[in-house]
Structure 1
Amino acid sequence: MDASAQDTRAAIDTLRDRMGQAIIGQRDVIERLLIGLLANGNLLVEGLPGLAKTRAIKALARNLECDFSRIQFTPDLLPSDVTGTEVYYQSGEGSEFRFEPGPIFANIVLADEINRAPAKVQAALLEAMEERQVTVSGTTHRMDPLFMVMATQNPIEQEGTYPLPEAQMDRFLMHVNITYPPVEDEVEVIRLVRAEETAAQAWPGTAPADTPAPVSQAAVFAARREIAGLHVSPEIERYMADLVSATRMPEGFGDDLKRWIEVGASPRASLALDRCGRTHAWLNGRDYVDPEDVRAIAPDVLRHRLGLSYEAQGEAVTPDAVVAEILRQVALP
């Protein structure tokens, strides 16, 4: 490994360590956020209220050299509130319409409770995610090279919400679940927040004097170049394709999968397995992808891309249980 590659890995490890200092006991979540960043994808983060979904995303943005914006999705939000709009300006030299960029024009965008906004607003956000550009009044405005949307939603309190259609869910690279922390970690959370409150009182309105410099965007782009060059054997490529194929032809993998799956995953799932598998391997210090990289990220890649049958829902079968059965049934390379 040359010096440049070592510097890149050290920078990403620094970013991971700093996030770990702000988020106690959620190492898998931190890893998934980094995978989304390095794989150049968008994430849907789901968990019950108070499980640090927003905090985790802010910890990433705070420790990275980037512009960060947060959009609180509400039922009265308009598409222009997300994308921006043309504003009429008049001065002594004349008048003109100028485009005022909305909060979507940032490097990392937190779309908080995305299922609280109606379909038009969701569509405006998802178009920007997919095309990496926004068109207003016939003019196209492109996003920065580093652009990532992290959307959150709560699995409860669904009254008055607008659930994302399956076709739009498919545009998220991964669907990350956050669960309750163990008791030991919760004790550490109490201590961490208490220390932060003490520091805030000591430095009211300002950052502490010893705040380290954020990790540069150049390190992210360098890591992406290294990840693009990782070796993926034909056997691993076939394994990823077989996993996705099993969701489309479940009858060949047992009666349970045949009963549970109504709609299988799209080719985006295969592409996501490849991108996330390579990134997972790189984060773990390897220059090749092995089956465990694919198996580690398969639940996050597939859980939002499966259409479960009414029978599965009636039996309280979860997408994670279906993915676990697929991983058990599909032969390893």
Structure 2
Amino acid sequence: MDINESQVKEIVDKIKEVQDEVGKAIIGQKDVINQVIIGILSGGNILLEGVPGLGKTQLVKTMAKVMDLSFSRIQFTPDLMPADVVGTNIIVKDNEKGRFEYQKGPVFANLVLADEINRATPKTQSALLEAMQEMTVTVGRNTYKLPQPFMVLATENPIEMEGTYPLPEAQLDRFLFKLNVNFPTLEELEGIIDVTVTNKNIELNKIIDGNEILRIREIIKEIPIAKPVKQYALKAVLATHPENEDSPEISKKYIRFGASPRAAQAIISTARVRAFIQGRYNVSFDDIKYVAYPALRHRFFLNFDAIADKITTDKIITEILESLQ
């Protein structure tokens, strides 16, 4: 695909407009907004973790409006069934004869918000697996394609664990990023109050649409990455494996299972996006470091010693990246 500098600048300016427009409705959380945009432009699913009331749902709805994408919200509860997610065949009367007709579920949207995904049973959670990986839904003998672009943005509450079903490793691995949504600062909290408890209405403009997102994804795939930068990313993934003799001591001491090859795919693809939205047509070591945290933090698993010593995944990622310099 041929693209010149003026076209790159035009796209980068549009992405900046998207960030500014989303910032009208979402106060603070600039890193989270930036990383969600990176995820959307990479074509991956995102897991948002944070306590209730931090604007996770509002963020996804705002993204859908600004990017002119169809939006669907599924509230996950213990009694939610797979058919409530993907849809089901219903009997329709046709000339007094009954026939089965497929009624699409809420998963048929560009942006699907899976709210409190860990509240549903594993059977229902798994209904999203095919959609997240294959971009299709199979009901009975028929397979249906999902609209493009398609993304699942799921939320989790890290505090309340009663009545929840932790996501299995295979499903966690299908999330491109895991983002921690932190509590706002005093200034941000003041801004949230000013926006939410007044009569002030925020008008959001549509900046880009689904076709433009698909076009940008194709352009980003062509961004070159130098061999030393690529190897830096791959070594970071290998360093999460305690059995690897080159892994740092912190990995050998605290990690139970390392990250899968999907982690390397996630780091490389999202580092390209990060470079592009900063107006650069090459990937730097800083791009790898920036995306390593959200791409890795849910892909390796800590042992009991790590929990006892209050060692976090982010701390281990920091030490891994420092050990590779």
Q: Partner of 2:197: helix, strand, or coil?
A: helix
**What secondary structure does 1:17 align onto?**
helix
Q: 1:18 aligns with which of 18, 21, 32?
A: 21
Q: Distance in 1 between matches of 2:127 and 2:210?
A: 26
Unaligned runs of 5+ in 1: 200-207
Q: Which runs of 5+ in 2 are unaligned?
A: none
> Shift of the alpha carbon at 1:56?
1.1
Q: Of the candidates 88, 97, 100, which is equivalent to residue 97 of structure 1?
A: 100
Instruction: List per-residue Cα deviations over 1:99-126 (Å, max 9, x = no partner).
Output: 0000000000000000000000100112
Structure 2 counterpart of 1:54: 57
2:286 corresponds to 1:283: no
Match of 1:217 in 2: 210
Q: Which residue of 2 aligns with 1:302?
A: 296
Give 1:243's aligned residue: 236
> What is the root-mean-square deviation of aligned Cα atoms in Å?
1.6
- Asked if the contact 2:81–2:124 (Cα under 8 Å) also holds between the matched residues in 1, the reply is yes
CA deviation map 1:91-147 (0-9, x unaligned):
326321000000000000000000000000100112211111011110000111210
Pairing 1:102-141 to 2, within 5 Å after superposition: 102-141=105-144
- Secondary structure of 1:317's counterpart equals coil
Match of 1:194 among 194, 197, 201: 197
- How far apart are the structure 2 equivalents of 1:100 and 1:30? 34
Q: In structure 2, what is the Cα distance between the partners aligned to 1:134 and 1:38?
A: 22
Residue equivalent to 1:178? 181
Structure 1 residue 262 and structure 2 residue 256: aligned? yes
Give identity over the alignment, percent: 41
Matched, 1:322 2:316: yes
The answer on whether the counterparts of 1:8 and 1:222 sit within 8 Å (CA) in structure 2 is no
**Corresponding residue for residue 203 of structure 1:** none
Q: Distance in 2 between matches of 1:5 and 1:288?
A: 13
- Quote the offset at 1:327 in angstroms: 1.0
Tell me the TM-score normalised to structure 1 length.
0.92
8 Å CA contact 1:246, 1:253 repeated in 2:
yes
Is the contact made by 1:250 and 1:261 (CA closer than 8 Å) also made in structure 2?
no
Structure 1 residue 24 displacement after superposition: 1.1
Measure how far apart 1:214 and its partner are: 4.7
Q: In structure 2, what is the Cα distance between the partners aligned to 1:272 and 1:15?
A: 22
Distance 1:287 1:36 in 2: 18
> How far apart are the structure 1 equivalents of 2:297 and 2:165?
19
Q: Measure how far apart 1:253 and its partner are.
A: 3.8
Partner of 1:231: 224
Which residue is 1:168 aligned to?
171
Deviations 1:7-55 (A, max 9, x none): 3333222211111111111110001110110000000000111111111
Match of 2:69 in 1: 66
Residues 306 and 211 (structure 1 numbering): CA distance in 2 closer, same or farther, change over 3 Å?
A: closer
Could you tell which deviates more after superposition, 303-312 or 6-15?
6-15
Q: Number of paired residues?
A: 321
The equivalent of 1:202 in structure 2 is: none
2:11 corresponding residue in structure 1: 8
Counterpart residue identity of residue 91, structure 1: D
Per mean C-alpha deviation after superposition, the further-off stretch among 227-236 and 247-256 is 247-256
Contact conserved, 2:8 with 2:279, CA < 8 A, in 1?
A: no
What's the TM-score once normalised by structure 2's chain length?
0.95
